[in-house]
């Protein structure tokens, strides 16, 4: 379990976005703007992850406006989920997909998880395909 926590913290604490803003903070060209408009990489990744996750039956989400992650809600009755940490570990074991359960962010109900959408769309597509497949048969005991 300690290894899973370490891996999740490494993923949560990546400094890549911070490195991108150093240029702006030092008064240089604000190149981040080109990523956030239609056709920009971050914009397109956000649009993709929102559509792909909300297309999974039993998953809903609010489209992020100022974050690099999405916090989808799981229909816990549909999947009989009572323990979101168990859900995250089951997904990791079965599909080799690491995500953080809502409880990892002090969310009280076992009905959310967090996905960072900074990876390229090809990586997101592969991951969401595995997540969708997992939800097609998952039912917590």
42-95 per-position pLDDT tens digit: 899 999 999 999 999 999 999 999 889 999 999 999 999 999 999 999 999 999
The rounded mean pLDDT for the chain is 87
The pTM of the full predicted model, rounded to 2 decimals, is: 0.77
Q: Which two tokens stand for residue 115?
A: 């996905």
Four-point Cα dihedral 93, 99, 103, 109, nearest 10: -90
CATH number of 2-137: 3.90.1150.10
Domain boundaries, the chain: 2-137
Q: Which two tokens stand for residue 6?
A: 């370490």
Distance of CA 129 to the CA centre of its chain: 13
63 secondary structure, DSSP code: P
Taking the CB of residue 6, how many other CB atoms lie within 10 A of it?
A: 10
């Amino acid at each position: 379990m300690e290894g899973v926590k370490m891996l999740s913290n490494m993923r949560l604490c990546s400094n890549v976005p911070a490195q991108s803003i150093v240029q702006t903070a030092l008064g240089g060209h604000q190149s981040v703007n080109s990523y956030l408009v239609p056709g920009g990489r971050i914009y397109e990744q956000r649009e993709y992850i929102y559509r792909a996750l909300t297309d999974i039956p039993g998953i809903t989400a609010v489209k992020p406006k100022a974050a690099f992650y999405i916090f989808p809600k799981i229909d816990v009755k549909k999947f009989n989920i009572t323990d979101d940490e168990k859900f995250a570990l089951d997904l990791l074991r079965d599909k080799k997909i690491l995500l953080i359960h809502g409880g990892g962010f002090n969310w009280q109900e076992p009905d959310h998880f967090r996905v960072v959408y900074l990876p390229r769309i090809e990586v997101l597509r592969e991951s969401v395909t595995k997540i969708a497949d997992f939800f097609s048969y998952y039912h917590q005991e």
